[in-house]
Amino acid sequence: MPRQFGQSLIALKPALLIAVVGVMLLPAASFAGIDTMIEFIVSNNPDLQELKGINKSILSQLKVEAKGTASYGQLTQEGTSTLEKAQTRYSVGLTATIPLISPAEKSQRRIEEVQKERTLRLDVAELIKTYKAERLAIPEENKILISLYNELQWIGKRVEAGVDSQKDYNSKLHDYLGKRKDHELRKEQVGLILEKILSYVGTEKRNQLKGMLHGQDIPKD
| Model pLDDT for residues 194-210, shown as the tens digit of each residue | 999 999 999 999 999 99
Amino acid at 12: L
What pLDDT is attached to residue 16? 44
Higher-confidence position of 141 and 25: 141
pLDDT confidence tier of residue 61, bands split at 50, 70 and 90:
low
What pLDDT is attached to residue 104? 84
pLDDT confidence tier of residue 217, bands split at 50, 70 and 90:
very low
What pLDDT is attached to residue 31? 45
pLDDT confidence tier of residue 107, bands split at 50, 70 and 90:
confident
Three-state helix/strand/coil letters over the chain: CCHHHHHHHHHHHHHHHHHHHHHHHCCCCCCCCHHHHHHHHHHHCHHHHHHHHHHHHHHCCCEEEEEEEEEEEEEEEECCCCCEEEEEEEEEEEEEEEECCCHHHHHHHHHHHHHHHHHHHHHHHHHHHHHHHHHHHHHHHHHHHHHHHHHHHHHHHHHHCCCCCHHHHHHHHHHHHHHHHHHHHHHHHHHHHHHHHHCCCCHHHHHHHHHHHCCCCCCCC
Query: Where in the chain are the domains?
Result: 3-59+101-213, 64-99
Higher-confidence position of 9 and 164: 164
pLDDT confidence tier of residue 7, bands split at 50, 70 and 90:
low
Q: Which pTM was predicted? A: 0.64
What CA–CA distance (Å, rounded) separates 160 from 177? 21
